[in-house]
Amino acid sequence: MAVEQRVLDSIALSRQEYDLIVERLGREPNDLELGLFGALWSEHCGYKNSKPLLRLLPSRGDRVLTRQGAENAGAVDIGDGLCVVMKIESHNHPSAIEPYQGAATGVGGIVRDIFAMGARPIAILDSLRFGPLTEARNRYLFENVVSGIGGYGNCLGVPTVAGEVYFEDAYSHNPLVNAMCVGIAPIDKLASASADVPGSLLMLVGSDTGRDGIHGASGLASTTDPTKRFDELRPAVQVGNPFLEKLLMEACLDLAHNHADWIVGIQDLGAAGLTSSVAEAAAKAGNGVVIDVARVPRREAGMTPYEVMLSESQERMLIIVKRGYENQVATLFQRWELEAMIIGQVTEDNLMRIFDGDEPVASLPLSVLTEPPLYTRQGIPSTEIAEAQSFHLDSLPDVDDASAALLRLFAIPNIASKRWVYRQYDHQLFTNTVIGPGADAALLRIKGTNKAIALSTDGSGRYCYLDPFQGAAIAVAEAARNVICTGAKPIAVTDCLNFGNPERLEVYYEMEEAILGIAAACEKLGVPVISGNVSLYNETGDTAVYPTPVIGMLGLLEDVSRRCSSAFQRIGDEVFLLGASLDSDSSALAASEYLKELHTKVAGRPQIDLALEARVQHTCLAAIETGVVASAHDCADGGLAVALAECCIASGLGLDVSEITIEGRMDAALFGEAQSRFVVSCRPVGVEQLKAIAAENDVRLFRLGVVVSEESLVIGNQIELTLAELRTAYESGLMAALQ
């Protein structure tokens, strides 16, 4: 008898997909088997709407050590026998329902992806989006998500070193909570997630299994309106225990680094729990598995095989143990006060066979279970976007009080200091943090070497809403500019792609164009995408979030003593705009914070010239490496005036730009967000060398002014403000919005 539609709806399978399952199996699946398909054919696990597009991303490079999607995270060689392992993932829907635990378990899950590969997690970053703080629920979500990230990361002992927070109407009731983790490992200690030795044993380690998280992968990630189902979906949100994860992390690193000859691989239990971890580990190797769910330690009585297999209880790992070493591995975990239980073994038959004691309860070919149908569509841009793109920005009145406009921009939550956020995070754990939160990018020393790594997360949903290709390319470029500002060279990307319902052709168009934009920018800038995550169905009712591809960028600095910062360094230093002259073209206002804040419009069409971007980035990095540039800051949100004010605030020094003349639109010149620009400073004796480096790369260099002792910012005859005025607006803006 065909299964009822309500059952399919509960596990997010379509009738057509069910019919395909029956066709491939040659029979109808039982209830447990159908649940396994619901999990592994979900968008969260199966990537059925995105995998064909993800293949367009460049993923190879001289430093890349892993194949995209083959392991829990991506790894790149940084020299000295070491590698960086990194990945970013979303926990959007759980955070919309239960923000503290949703965010906390998002951190726990991404950290497990890193130490599952034998890498010690050394940094967490976050990328967050919420609706306007004028709404009480958005304030509740924001405050508790931040608390959840800090609570888990601080207890776990991994510093949260950087991130970003934005507030837009489109994210009301459907926040985006993306967590990134970065780890370090000796290359020869990297662990795999592949169960490629038949006869090896499957050992489950960590927390007992409960009923939390069931249908988390298939239900939460597929529902288009979690706000209407809060009570129903709340049990699908996992509950975290960071202290247990700390033990699990140290034990797994002990095993991977000191006893690697005892094991075949390590896999974390995340979305879909045992189902995905076991099936994916075996399928990668073309092998099969036998599992006895009766051997799985449980914290609740009466759990069915269905509940055991689909539970997403946190702080659990699957260890694939070489036969004959099971006692040694179990003893190691006992020393770390962790329970370990053999629950099955790897076979050669490509079947996933599940028993409950002596009773067989499921038997499925892994090649069917782990290969969902893939969908491609012909996307179409929405008419709404076309109208916004065609808006005539020249029709707007020019700014009449630039000083007031700057103070107003400096105080909005998207630009104002995020100190309220990062003061809740311990960012100095391990004492690796050289540059911490609040800068263009974080910079962490790699102990035992002279090296450091720079880390940044970036992405503008507003840019991508107006032009997903250009907006996604800009996200890559800005993330790269941010790590360059520390003196590091961008070497790899991890991405988290947040979109609405891909079955809607307008959303599919956004996703496809954004991925093409990421691919184009990564190719031009020479940074491969080594890992990532896709989060779809981010909608409330019929309204999708802005298309929001978030880019996590890794940079490498060979000598940490040659680091750079955004703060002006000395009185008398010359300040330049690298990459452009003062741009008074109204097109620079497209998607800008100024346009949204002062004219309440999201309009225009953001643009980036990737060839120019590559030259500008190369020029800035070369100038830092030669020691000519004393400070560097990305010119981004809020435009040039905001960037200059941020440099002043960071240094406590003033800036005199009184000699410049602005022709044309002052708003575009001061607050426009044209791309491919850095604010840099250098000593007067270095000016000619800086000019030569810029000329050699065919990059414009425009002198702005000089760093002064007076604590003020003067720009032409348009802006004159004290640093005290700027600092008050900057430091109080977010707190005022939370009142």
pLDDT at 195: 87
Most confident of 36-45, 660-669, 729-738: 729-738
CA-wise closest residue to 84 among 99, 97, 110, 66: 66
Mean pLDDT of 428-434: 84
Q: What is the token pair recorded at 258?
A: 């000191």
Write the pLDDT tens digit of every residue in 326-366.
Answer: 999 999 999 999 999 999 999 999 999 999 999 999 999 99
Q: What is the token pair recorded at 178?
A: 């993306």
142 in a structural domain = no
Measured between alpha carbons, how far is 357 from 168 in angstroms, rounded to an integer?
52
587 in a structural domain = yes
pLDDT band at 429 (very low <50, low <70, confident <90, very high): confident
Mean pLDDT of 630-650: 97
CATH for 618 = 3.90.650.10
Residues in the chain: 739
Average pLDDT over the chain, rounded to whole? 93
Mean pLDDT of 704-709: 97
Residues contacting residue 417 through CB under 8 Å, at least 6 positions apart? 438, 730, 731, 733, 734
DSSP string covering 397-409: PPPS-HHHHHHHH
Whether the pLDDT of residue 569 is over 50: the answer is yes
pLDDT band at 225 (very low <50, low <70, confident <90, very high): low
pLDDT at 236: 55
pLDDT at 491: 98
451 in a structural domain = no
pLDDT band at 82 (very low <50, low <70, confident <90, very high): very high
**3-state helix/strand/coil string of 615-648:** HHHHHHHHHHHCCCEEEEEECCCCHHHHHHHHHH
pLDDT at 663: 82
Whether the pLDDT of residue 231 is over 90: the answer is no
Measured between alpha carbons, how far is 620 from 529 in angstroms, rounded to an integer?
23
pLDDT at 585: 87
304 in a structural domain = no
Whether the pLDDT of residue 661 is over 90: the answer is no
pLDDT band at 655 (very low <50, low <70, confident <90, very high): very high
53 in a structural domain = no
CA-wise closest residue to 291 among 192, 195, 191: 195
pLDDT band at 234 (very low <50, low <70, confident <90, very high): very low
Measured between alpha carbons, how far is 242 from 314 in angstroms, rounded to an integer?
9
57 touches 511 (CB < 8 A): no
pLDDT at 167: 97
Q: What percent of the chain has pLDDT over 70?
A: 96
674 in a structural domain = yes
Q: Helical H runs in 132-190?
A: 136-156
396 touches 712 (CB < 8 A): no
pLDDT at 540: 86
pLDDT band at 216 (very low <50, low <70, confident <90, very high): low
Mean pLDDT of 549-557: 98
Record the pTM: 0.95
665 in a structural domain = yes
Write the pLDDT tens digit of every residue in 15-33.
Answer: 999 999 999 999 999 999 9
Q: What is the token pair recorded at 374?
A: 């893939």
Burial (0-12, 13-18, 19+ Cβ within 10 Å), 247: middle
pLDDT band at 220 (very low <50, low <70, confident <90, very high): low
pLDDT at 544: 93
Whether the pLDDT of residue 229 is over 60: the answer is no
382 in a structural domain = no
Residues contacting residue 384 through CB under 8 Å, at least 6 positions apart? none
Q: Give the count of domains, the chain.
A: 1
Active-site residue identified among 44, 173, 427, 633: 44
The residue segments making up the domain with residue 695 are: 564-739
Read off the amino acid at residue 149: I
DSSP string covering 288-337: EEEEEGGGS-BSSTT--HHHHHH---SSEEEEEEPTT-HHHHHHHHHHTT
Whether the pLDDT of residue 601 is over 80: the answer is yes
44 is catalytic: yes
599 is catalytic: no
